[in-house]
Each structure stands twice: as structure tokens, then as C-alpha cells.
Structure 1
């Protein structure tokens, strides 16, 4: 768990630095930086998504995941949760919306990918923290950039990282037998497809309901099973 705590602290420090930097950045420059980060996010998403071993698995996972997400309207529920939680603190609905956007964006960028899963499993099973330490450095930089352009909502990703990665570390001995290299690769590729949609949102080209795409990550094992049954 030590490496997870280090990762969490790195995000908090990065966010604090980013918020200090944000005060000196004109709004127009901040907006352009966010779009530039969006372009980088799109590139990362494309690079990761094309690593899938079978494009049908990715397509089916996204389709099933979006169906579940839209059916239960996870995006609406998350937005209402933050509205109720922050409505009395934030000044107006627009502020709550920005905090929510910063939280979701930072959580996805920092917690979707093979590095999160493999690094957490290594930390729990072999006490090998090198990958999570590397991720901590990357998240420190990401925290600075995201907080400088999107604001204090990035703080929330520190708590999410602690809970998400901490859970994988604590349960590593139980879930490791089921997490094959193939499965991790497909989950990572599907996650990067979601990151791609997020990047387009950051640029301002689209308004994908990214939260409704997240169930796709849980649909990967089912998609692999279904594809395996097809006479391809």
C-alpha cells in the first residue's frame, strides 16, 4: 500500500502546484493549454486502443458498456451526486459542472491503463513498487497540468486513486489468477478508447457522455467469452 499512498500524495502535490500556477495564467491561454492536452490525450487513446488483439472485443465491449451506461444514466447520477455534494459550496451550477468535469477527466487519465493494473498487482503480490513509483511521477506532472487548466476538481482523483489502486493491491492474491496478460491488454485497449473520447471532449469537438462509457471496462471479459463462441 505504500506505493499507492506515494501515488496519492504525488497527485495532491501536483494539484496544489497546478492551482498555484493557474492563478497566473490568463483564461485564454488556459483554454488553449486544455485543448493541447486534449490533443495529447487523443494521441494516447489511439496508441493504446490499436493495441487490442481483436478489434471485435473492443467494439463489443464499448457497445455493451455504453448500453449499460445509458440505460442506468450513470452520467446523470454522478452529476446529481456532485450537485448535491457541492451545491452549497460551489458558486452556481457551472462551478459544480467544472469540478465534476475535472474530477472525471483526471480519474480517467490517471487510472485507465495497463500500468495501473499491472503495477498494483506487482505491488500486492511481489512488493515490487517500481511501476507505481513511475506512475506517481507521471501523475504528479498530469496533476499540475490538469489542475492548472481545469481547477480543484483534480483533488478528487487522489481519493479515487487511493481507493481504486488500494483495492487492487489488497485483493491482488485473489484476482491475479483471473487477470491474464491478454485480459489486461484488452481492458487497457478498451480504456484507451474511452480516453480517446475524453480527449475529443477536452478539445471541444464533441460532448461524449464519457461516464456512460466506463462500464465497457467491465464488459471486456464477457466480450472475450462471446467472441470466443463465434465461428470466426
Structure 2
């Protein structure tokens, strides 16, 4: 069974209090870098994987997308997404990312924000996404950076005064399941190296357009703890395309 932590009422309530949950795209530190890599949505059919509250789905429609399918495993997430979405051009589907099944070449663009590190089998997913895209279609996604996921604990080492000393990177080449603490709850994620992310896409037929390790924007630097985000990469953004 796919893990669906976001339908746990305690976890979901904590998630709903996060800055990015309340402010949407503008509350996400990686948004500006992600936005710059997104394709021109005008007239496109878009698939949004791990759509959550539907922020990116609505953004695509607001920027000319012909239609968007937002996919998420969490019913609670989709309930909020539907409440926030006014456009009939957006449809939401409750489904695991690994289980999506649409006809070949159904979409011009596929986007995903911070979801693929919950997927155990990235190779099978990448091949399916390639199948679903039209020739020259775009895939743009964010994941937690392999430096961030490697050790598993995803927390700093502290001194006796509680000051952050350094961020541990260990077991980097030992790919697979990690149990970490997120919002004070145990969450399962999957670590894979940067090489695996990129070579899996290449082996599936994709062309890599750009990689970005986003920095927090200057406008967020006054937020407590944000300066520490300059000390190690937390996220990775990948832009790829299907061959013509």
C-alpha cells in the first residue's frame, strides 16, 4: 500500500499551518526558480503530479493551459484543492503517482513539486512519464536534493548550546528507503543519487535541459533560520523534454 501520511488528521493539520500551505506559491522558497523553468502553458494539456492544494494546477490555467489534471493520493489535499479552484479546466484525481494510467501522448507538459522522493521506483515512473508526453513535451519537477535525503534524519548536528554546527551527509550511495521526521511525524521517503535521477531520465529517452539547486529568495532571508538554507542544498529542480 502507498503511504498516505497527508490524510492523517494530525499530520495534515500541522501541514496546513506551514508557511507554504498558507501563502501558496509565494510562500515556497524554490518557487521563483521553479517558475523560470516552467514551459509556456498556452493551449497545453498539463499533468500536475502530487498536486496538493492545487497551486501549480491553477497557475497553469491562469497562464493559458487548455486543461490540467491534478493528481494526489490524499483526499484531504484534494478537498482543499477543489475548494480553492474555480476553473472548470482543472480536474483532480485521487491516485498514487505510481498508478497513473492515461493513453500515450496525453499531455504536453508534466509538472511535479516535491513528490517524486516519495516514489520507490523512479525508473518505472520515468518511463511512464515519457510515454504520457507528446513529442517535445516538457517535464519539470522538484525533489528534495540528494544531499538532503542521503543521511535520512534530515536535521543538523548541534552543539551544547543548540547552535547548528553542520548538516550530515552519510550513506550517499546507499539508495533506497529512508524514515525521517517531518512536522514531528515519521515519514517514509526514498533517497537516490543525483546520478540516478539524471541517468534514469536519460535512459528513459528524455533530454535534460537544465538543473537548478535553488537558493531562497532575498525576500525570505529575514525569516528565522532561512540564512542556514545557504549552507547546504535542500532542493533540486530538473527540466527535461521528450525527444521529437
TM-score (norm 1): 0.28
Does 1 or 2 have the higher relative contact order (CA < 8 Å, sep 6+)? 1
More helix as a share of residues: 1
